[in-house]
Amino acid sequence: MANHDLETLARLHALLDLTRGVRDEHDMDAVLEAVAATVAETLGYRAVVVNLYRPAFGDFVVTTVHDYSPEAHQRLLGSAGGWESWEPLLDDRFERRGAHFVPAGEYDWTDDLLSYTPDIEVRADDPDAWHPDDALFVILHHASGHILGILSVDEPISGRRPTDEELDVLVALAEHASLAVQSAQEAAAAARHSRSLDSLLRVSSTLNETLATDAVLHAVADGIARSLGFAKVSIDLPDPASGILVPRSTIGWSPADQARNMPISTDRLGRLLEAQFEVQGCYLLPEAEAMARLPADHRSYVSVNNGQGEVAWNRHWLIVPLRDRQGQITGVIWVDDPIDRLLPSEDSLQVLRVFANQAAASLDSAAHFEEVRFLAEHDPLTGLLNRRAFTRQLGVETARSGRYHRPFALVLLDLDGFKQLNDAHGHLAGDRALTRIGELLVGSIRSSDMAFRIGGDEFALLLPETDEEEVRAAVDRIAAGLERASELRALEASFGVSVFPHDGQEPERLFRAADEAMYSAKRCGERVHFAA
């Protein structure tokens, strides 16, 4: 084997080795420069240009300009043209042995903004001499057949047009270049997928550390945006009363963007989740298909990261429903504006579905935790906070009011005649009365106040920043409610009140003062008694 052949093989091996180190699209520049340099040095061309196909736009962009003049670099690098600009040059009449050679005079380069004519001598006396207007291209194909790009070579060192044998070598080398580009692109895709899986594992570990719903949703939304490359992610949960989906965690959405979205209910969301749009548990719809399934006046945000190619994102809707163990929709993940402007691959959609499953499972766990905590701190009969919660909250209110020098009132009350009601009508009637008392207390206080059931027929109220007049008004509302409710007319209530800090600055002392005041009210036949 000749030394030249050995050198060529060494360059090809080095080229393929380089593709193994590709981690993302930024590393592609080095691969493409290596492709261009290998072609130039192996075949003896001073200038090589790589036009890479962009699926998001359906065009070719100049990514690499090897050894052209600074003027050529400035003119060509980053320029792009669609298939229509290349079609005349890749006509069958210019095809030679798998390459396309366009002789001078066969194409008018005058108005072609994507071309550059080198300043070399015209040798009219030699028909085989390379002319400045000559052009030589080779299409780079993926192994599956689709186009990866177009390789353009210019200014042969020999100064002569290529022979058939030289074209055969060029085409063969272009096949190796195609393999290098394909390998690099696949390596970048694999690296992206690996990063997304790593991100998924990190998010999963984060979710296992918290049961707070907002923390869970933020971790999932951030993980999707970072690992899958979407500029906008929104996780919506339904409002319990209306079923309208409301954003709970968002990434990349401005208030103006969100204002463009009309509310949508879980029922209407179901119209978008048709089997024909399902991929890996996600639902990918063209905009026209989505809007056709919603009311005619529906408005929605329109993507800005759109492309033009067959596999480009073009105002699509990507929806991932969150479901509970019974299959009911508990929320939805919306993603939009992919950074690469491409439709997501099945691998990406699979990862997105796993993110959604993590979110749904964590929400289910968080809901279960909230339910357990609710039961631990609430009276199961009345739904009011229980004695355990009262003891904790009294301590919290005492510390907070002491820190900010604000008063608050503690009201204790128990029901007179409750035992007689139970004895005369049974425990079921007593339970109904207690439930009604709980409703009455909640309806008689402000949203900042808190009501508790702390014993059989004993209740408590915490009224922040409340003076004596406001306490009396609240007591009067409760007493009036007792009188109006037919099932409660047999009952009366005795109220005892203590005020922080006048009647004590420690929880125990405040409670004792209010308790003594309540029994004083009973003894004296008063409705309400304030601590001395």
Supply the residues annotated as catalytic: 457
Identify the residue whose tokens are 């298939």.
Answer: 83
The token pair at 234 is 């929104």
Residues near 267 by Cβ (< 8 Å), separated by ≥ 6? 243
The β-bridge relationship of strands 230-238 and 492-500 is: unpaired
The rounded distance, in Å, linking the Cα atoms of 318 and 353 is: 11
What is the gyration radius of the CA atoms in the chain, in angstroms?
38
The rounded distance, in Å, linking the Cα atoms of 262 and 252 is: 18
Q: Determine contact, residues 489/425, Cβ cutoff 8 Å.
A: no
Q: Closest Cα to residue 100, out of 43, 50, 150?
A: 150
Q: Determine contact, residues 132/120, Cβ cutoff 8 Å.
A: yes
Single-letter residue type at 8 = T
Mutual orientation of helices 28-43 and 3-19 as an angle, nearest 10°?
170
The rounded distance, in Å, linking the Cα atoms of 215 and 230 is: 20
Compute the Cα dihedral for 75, 76, 80, 86 and give only its sign: positive
Beta partners for 318? 284, 335
Beta partners for 95? 100
Q: What is the DSSP letter of 242?
A: T
Exposure class string for 408-433: b at 16+ Cβ within 10 A, else e: bbbbbbbbebbeebbeeeeeeebeeb
Q: What is the DSSP letter of 344?
A: P
Residue 140 CA, distance from chain mean position: 36
- What beta strand segments (E) does 282-389 contain? 282-285, 317-323, 329-338
Q: How far is CA 369 from CA 299, 311, 364, 365, 481, in A?
A: 37, 43, 9, 6, 35
Max CA pair span of the chain: 130
Compute the Cα dihedral for 332, 336, 340, 341 and give only its sign: positive
Q: How far is CA 484 from CA 427, 444, 487, 491, 492, in A?
A: 22, 13, 9, 11, 12
